[in-house]
């Protein structure tokens, strides 16, 4: 089986920088508030417990895992994200800030009542009334409230500049679109306007060029259709937007309850019908990112001696850099540098920097390079890509910029090609564990690769990622026929 194409120079860098310099997906700050509540309740609860213990007894030792007081702190920390969650915490204008604060304190009261119910059902009411337990819980509640008000109290322009507030796109020029835009403006929602052809109403440029500048912003695309907008035109616009990861939603002003089931609401009204959703939802994205960072960091630390040893062998085996760097297409079609161990000799001056497919018994492959390729050890530096956020452990394998199959670009072969970029590329993926590894020399091979990649995009789950990681480990142990 052939390996992916390497350039004949050891390091390949782009001539021009992509307009999207950071391919990492952004998540609205409101989505991180629940994680902050969990951490604050846990840390402040434990700290308050410890401080009172030291103040009263003069010393403190960590409680046992089975300690009911510790269980109460854990339970309150786990419950806090669900009870205190505010999706639109950063959205309201200053006029609505008081209402939002009152709703937050109402949820805080619900959390206190829930903790009391848990303590009663567990037979821990006596422990709940103890000073050190109450001190820990009160410290957690106060710290959560202070941090929440600090985050929400920052200037909205600062949050918008950081991409922490949802940014919506309104498409349509009829009365329904105008009404929707007016409602968004009244709520302080950030948005841009486009007509049915995708042309901007506020500044020059098409919707596609505008979206390229918003690729790292947590944008929710909203299609607003008037009654006069024909469905074939609506479907055409949907197909233009589907390659992007953000959801496409419809509000026609003619909504009738019970007609469409997949709906949600912006605020207290304005029902939106979901036409195309994110491949990986917001919370799923947080979970997948946590898995990438935790497992990626752990594996990197465990394999650090091996990484250093391989780097030393490469330097001793042939002159040149240890790492091979190549420009690849990644998330939202943004370009990034992928890292691999160099497995080929530096080109001679007569090579003219031409691209040449790696062949079996290729004389350019070094002695240590053959071993690295056999065991896929040359891919290990991509752990750095995982840690810097440009790649995931699992996802479609990133293709080289301007990669061609039978002299044609991927998007020229199939319109579905760009859909594989709706999620982060991965070190391994569903294609790789289903026999579609290495180069795609024929159109049929590329179509098969895209088919498998899109299956992963459409069926992502944490369990699927774990299955792929385990299958990859088994495949490496069996050392497939790679060159």
Tens digits of residue pLDDT in 338-376: 999 998 887 654 454 444 545 455 677 888 988 888 888
Range with the poorest average pLDDT among 159-163, 171-175, 404-408? 159-163
Residue 291: C-alpha distances to residues 154, 167, 294, 296 (Å): 30, 27, 5, 8
Biggest distance spanned by C-alpha atoms of the chain = 83
Return the ∠ at Cα 299 (arms to 293 and 300), rounded to 5°: 85
Bin 194: left if φ > 0, else alpha if -120 < ψ < 50, else beta. beta
**Average pLDDT, stretch 241-269?**
61
Structural domains counted in the chain: 3
101-120: burial string, b at 16+ Cβ within 10 Å, e else: eeebeebbeebeebbeebbe
Do 287 and 274 lie in one domain? The reply is no
Q: Which of 65, 155, 80, 70 lies closest to 115 in space, CA to CA?
A: 80
Predicted TM-score of the model (pTM): 0.65
Residue 130 has pLDDT above 60, yes or no: yes
Tell me the pLDDT band of 186, cut-offs 50, 70 and 90: confident
Does 14 fall in a domain? no
Do 52 and 171 lie in one domain? The reply is no
Would you give the DSSP letter of residue 11? B
Do 292 and 232 lie in one domain? The reply is no
Do 200 and 231 lie in one domain? The reply is yes
197 or 5, greater pLDDT:
197
Dist. CA 211–CA 137, nearest whole Å: 45
Do 426 and 400 lie in one domain? The reply is yes
Dist. CA 134–CA 141, nearest whole Å: 11
Q: Which of 385, 378, 472, 464 lies closest to 424 in space, CA to CA?
A: 385
Does 12 fall in a domain? no
Does 419 fall in a domain? yes
Bridging pattern class, strands 404-405 and 408-409: antiparallel
Q: Last residue of a domain, which of 157, 188, 220?
A: 157
Do 421 and 275 lie in one domain? The reply is no
Does 23 fall in a domain? no
> Helix (H, G, I), strand (E, B), or coil: what is residue 461?
coil
Does 96 fall in a domain? yes
| Residues 6 or more apart whose Cβ sits within 8 Å of residue 191 | 167, 168, 169, 170, 181, 184, 185, 222
Do 175 and 152 lie in one domain? The reply is no
Do 275 and 369 lie in one domain? The reply is no
Does 24 fall in a domain? no
Would you give the DSSP letter of residue 340? E
- For 396-436, the pLDDT digits (tens) are 999 888 888 878 887 778 878 888 888 999 999 999 899 88
Do 36 and 62 lie in one domain? The reply is yes
Does 5 fall in a domain? no
C-beta of residue 131 within 8 angstroms of C-beta of residue 56: yes
Does 223 fall in a domain? yes
Do 125 and 72 lie in one domain? The reply is yes
The CATH number linked to 239 is 3.40.50
First to last CA, the chain: 6
* DSSP secondary structure letters along 137-166: HHHHHHHHHHHHHHHHHS-HHHHHHTT-S-
Do 275 and 291 lie in one domain? The reply is no
> Which structural domain range is residue 261 located in?
166-244+246-279
Do 473 and 391 lie in one domain? The reply is yes
Dist. CA 480–CA 483, nearest whole Å: 9
Residue 228 has pLDDT above 60, yes or no: yes
Would you give the DSSP letter of residue 365? B
> Helix (H, G, I), strand (E, B), or coil: what is residue 409?
strand
Bridging pattern class, strands 392-394 and 426-428: parallel
Return the ∠ at Cα 397 (arms to 392 and 398), rounded to 5°: 90
Q: Could you tell me how far CA 23 lies from the centroid of its own chain?
A: 10
Residue 42 confidence (pLDDT): 84
Residue 354 confidence (pLDDT): 45
Range with the poorest average pLDDT among 200-204, 245-249, 264-268? 264-268
């Amino acid at each position: 089986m052939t390996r992916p194409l390497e350039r004949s120079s050891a390091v390949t860098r782009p001539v021009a920088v992509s307009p999207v310099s950071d391919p990492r997906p952004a998540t609205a700050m409101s989505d991180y508030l629940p994680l902050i509540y969990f951490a604050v309740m846990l840390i402040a609860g434990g700290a308050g417990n410890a401080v009172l213990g030291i103040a009263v007894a003069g010393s403190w030792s960590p409680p046992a895992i089975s300690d009911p007081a510790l269980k109460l702190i854990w339970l309150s920390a786990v419950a806090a994200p669900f009870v205190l969650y505010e999706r639109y915490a950063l959205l309201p204008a200053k006029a609505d800030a008081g209402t939002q604060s009152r709703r937050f304190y109402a949820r805080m009261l619900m959390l206190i009542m829930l903790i009391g119910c848990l303590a009663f059902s567990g037979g821990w009411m006596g422990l709940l009334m103890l000073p050190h337990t109450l001190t820990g819980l009160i410290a957690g509640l106060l710290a959560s409230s202070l941090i929440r008000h600090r985050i929400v109290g920052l200037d909205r322009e600062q949050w918008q500049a950081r991409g922490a507030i949802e940014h919506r796109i309104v498409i349509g020029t009829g009365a329904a679109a105008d009404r929707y835009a007016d409602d968004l403006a009244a709520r302080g929602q950030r948005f841009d306007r486009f007509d049915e052809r995708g042309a901007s109403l506020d500044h020059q440029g098409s919707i596609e060029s505008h979206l390229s500048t918003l690729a790292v912003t947590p944008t929710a695309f909203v299609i607003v259709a008037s009654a006069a907008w024909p469905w074939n035109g609506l479907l055409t616009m949907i197909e233009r937007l589907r390659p992007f990861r953000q959801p496409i939603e419809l509000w026609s002003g003619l909504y009738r309850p019970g007609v469409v089931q997949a709906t949600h609401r912006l605020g207290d009204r304005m029902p939106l019908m979901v036409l195309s959703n994110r491949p990986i939802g917001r919370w799923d994205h947080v979970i997948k990112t946590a898995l990438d960072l935790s497992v990626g960091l752990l594996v990197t630390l465990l394999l650090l001696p091996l990484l250093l040893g391989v780097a030393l062998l490469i330097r001793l085996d042939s002159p040149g850099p240890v790492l091979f760097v190549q420009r690849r297409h990644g998330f939202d079609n943004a370009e990034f540098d992928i890292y691999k161990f160099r497995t080929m000799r530096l080109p001679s001056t007569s090579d003219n920097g031409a691209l040449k497919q790696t062949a079996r018994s290729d004389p350019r492959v070094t002695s240590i390079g053959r071993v690295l390729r056999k065991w896929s050890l040359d891919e290990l530096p991509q752990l750095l890509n995982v840690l810097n956020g440009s790649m995931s452990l699992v996802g479609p394998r990133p293709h080289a910029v301007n990669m061609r199959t039978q002299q044609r670009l991927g998007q020229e072969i199939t319109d579905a090609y760009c859909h594989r970029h709706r999620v982060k590329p991965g070190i391994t993926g569903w294609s790789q564990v289903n026999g579609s590894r290495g180069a795609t020399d024929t159109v049929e091979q590329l179509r098969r690769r895209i088919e498998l990649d899109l299956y992963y995009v459409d069926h992502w789950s944490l369990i699927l990622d774990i299955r792929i990681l385990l299958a990859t480990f088994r495949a490496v142990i069996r050392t497939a026929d790679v060159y």
